[in-house]
Amino acid sequence: MKLFLSTPPTNLIETNIQVTGSKSESNRLLLLQALFPNIQIENLSNSDDGRVMKNGLGVSFGEVDIHHAGTAMRFLTAYFASQEGKEVVLTGSKRMTERPIKVLVDGLKELGADIEYERNDGYPPLKIKGKKLIKSKVSLPANISSQYISALLLIAPSLENGLELDLVGKITSVPYIKMTLGLLNQVGVTTFFEGNVIKVSPEKDVLDKIMVVESDWSSASYFYSIVALSEVGTKISLTAYKSDSLQGDSVLAELYRDFGVETTFLENEIVLRKTAEAQPSINYDLSNAPDIAQTIAVTCFGLRLGCHLTGLHTLKIKETDRLEALKAELSKLGANITVTDKTLTLKPSKTINNEVAIDTYNDHRMAMAFAPLALKNSIIINDAEVVSKSYPDFWTDMEKLKIGIKEL
Ligand SMILES: O=C(O)C1=C[C@@H](OP(=O)(O)O)[C@@H](O)[C@H](O)C1
Ligand SMILES: C=C(OP(=O)(O)O)C(=O)O
């Protein structure tokens, strides 16, 4: 599906949007619920990634296809490895077979798991024969993806002796590890995290609790971008959010102040208001919030600001090589951009080319990050259906902002 987005009649916007539940929180809670069925969940994400996770957890034998969902691939690998009697081949999209998983497989094997590579060493598909895992100590590199660590932590309370992780190297995407530990704590599991060591106690039961998933902060980033690109006076309310979020991307509230966007936290919602013009240049280390890098780069381009973004070393192994994808697509729009394997630098742009067709590389965030540029100029988004990976209602919600959307 190719969408033509045209500028709204006015850049002064006022609306209220209900955003779906966090896919990160949802996929963690779904796994915990499979281990401890007395956990109840509300406001689950309606995303593809949430759906494949839920379906995968219902399978005991045969093939499980998790498509593009990184969290489902990593979390289910740990889950099936620890489920005595289950035997599956865990696979995904072509891109998923290029996203590394060796660190997690090695860690699980150290605990006694039976996992084989079906095709290429270090990459899915994986053949997993579930076993009772008795060992409880693992050492693993922490600088490639935090999802390997979260996967081990999520099964940890169900292991006979709990788990002790020794993390090697600089820990990346730390807030996602803290989210995992936070959710474990909320259902009554005791954890410890200091320096490079994480411990999780074994538990036979957890608390009878209704866990309410907060809405997705990474999805909120596109509205931050829209408010930043609109006129002073614009106001967008988003539900259901809270100030004591477990999601690291809630740092948006702080970062977008530099773009003149003020956030007010109300009961269950945030109100984003454009109150001032943006700062002249932007320098952020995004190693704790990699999923908002595309949003921020595009906001800067749309506001004709220069920026220097660092801490982007994980972007090359996500849904696509996001650094190369940003470089290619922003260049088409007229940007002066350079990337390394962990940084992105943008010079203030002079023009924003009109009616450029943006390729999305099977990456939901490419489609959603570029959409706000419709406030500045008409833009075409190729394969726009990719948004369903995390935010299936994205285009319907864009229409509420009066952005003209036509299928080509
Ligand atoms: O644990 C999670 O829910 C996630 C962790 C991050 O991945 P990395 O740890 O690989 O950076 C993030 O990019 C991804 O969208 C979701
Ligand atoms: C990187 C992402 O997802 P995952 O790694 O879970 O596929 C994302 O949603 O930006």
Whole-angstrom distance, CA of residue 375 vs CA of residue 302? 9
Confidence check: pLDDT of 108 > 90? yes
* Nearest ligand by distance to the CA of 247: 1
Any atom of ligand 1 within 6 Å of the Cβ of 91: no
* Residues involved in catalysis: 291
What pLDDT, on the 0 to 100 scale, is given for residue 402?
A: 87
Mean of pLDDT over the chain: 97
| CA of residue 318 to ligand 2 center, whole Å | 6
Q: To test ligand 1's pocket by mutation, which of 26, 173, 178, 316 has the most ligand atoms within 8 angstroms of CB?
A: 173
The residue whose two tokens read 């696509």 is 320
Is residue 392 over pLDDT 90? yes
Residue 152 has pLDDT above 90, yes or no: yes
291 annotated as a binding-site residue? yes
Mean pLDDT of 393-406: 94
Is 374's pLDDT higher than 90? yes
Over residues 32-74, the pLDDT tens digits come to 999 999 999 999 999 999 999 999 999 999 999 999 999 999 9
Using N-to-C axis directions, what is the helix angle for 146-155 and 174-186, rounded to 10°? 10
Distances (CA, A) of 241 to 21, 24, 180, 400: 10, 15, 18, 19
Q: How far is CA 292 from the centre of its chain?
A: 8
Tell me if 53 sits within 8 A of 71, measured CB to CB: yes
Distance CA 211, CA 186 (A): 8
From atom 10 of ligand 1, which residue's Cα is the shortest distance away?
145
* Long-range pairs, 43-47, Cβ under 8 A, ≥24: 43/212, 43/213, 43/214, 43/215, 43/240, 44/213, 45/20, 45/21, 45/213, 45/216, 45/390, 46/20, 46/21, 46/392, 46/393, 47/20, 47/23, 47/388, 47/389, 47/390, 47/391, 47/392
* Residue 388 marked as a ligand binder: no
| Residue 390: pLDDT over 90 | yes
Amino acid identity, position 151: A
Does the C-beta of 180 come closer than 6 Å to ligand 1? Answer: no
pLDDT of residue 294: 98
Q: Distance between CA atoms of 285 and 163, rounded to whole angstroms?
A: 31
Confidence of residue 11 (pLDDT cuts 50, 70, 90): confident
Rounded distance from Cα 201 to ligand 2 centre (Å): 28
CA angle at 93 for the pair 88 and 96, rounded to the nearest 5°: 85
Q: How many Cβ atoms sit within 10 Å of the Cβ of residue 359? A: 18
363 lines ligand 2 (CB under 6 A): no
Residue 144 · residue 100 · CB < 8 Å:
yes
Cβ contact 90:73 at 8 Å: yes
Residue 210, pLDDT score: 97
How many degrees, rounded to 5, is the angle at CA 309 between CA 354 and CA 248?
A: 105
Can you give the pLDDT at residue 10?
83
- For ligand 2, the distance from its centroid to the CA atom of residue 299, given in whole angstroms, is 20
291 burial (CB, 10 Å; 0-12 / 13-18 / 19+) is buried
Q: What is the pLDDT of residues 297-311, one digit of tens each?
A: 999 999 999 999 999
Can the peptide bond before residue 348 be classed as cis, meaning omega within 30 degrees of 0?
no
CA 407 to CA 41: how far, in whole Å? 36
Q: Distance, CA 146 to ligand 2 centroid (Å)?
A: 11
Q: Counting ligands in written order, which one lies closest to the CA of residue 53?
A: 2
Question: Annotated binding residue at 99?
Answer: yes
Q: Sketch out the chain's domains with CATH numbers.
A: 3-21+215-407 (3.65.10.10), 23-212 (3.65.10.10)
Residue type, 197: V
Does the Cβ of 26 fall within 6 Å of ligand 1? no
Query: What ligand 1 atom has the least distance to the C-alpha of 148?
Result: 9
- Find out whether 318 is annotated in a ligand binding site: yes
Q: 307 with 346: CB under 8 angstroms?
A: yes
Is the pLDDT at 13 greater than 90, yes or no? Answer: no
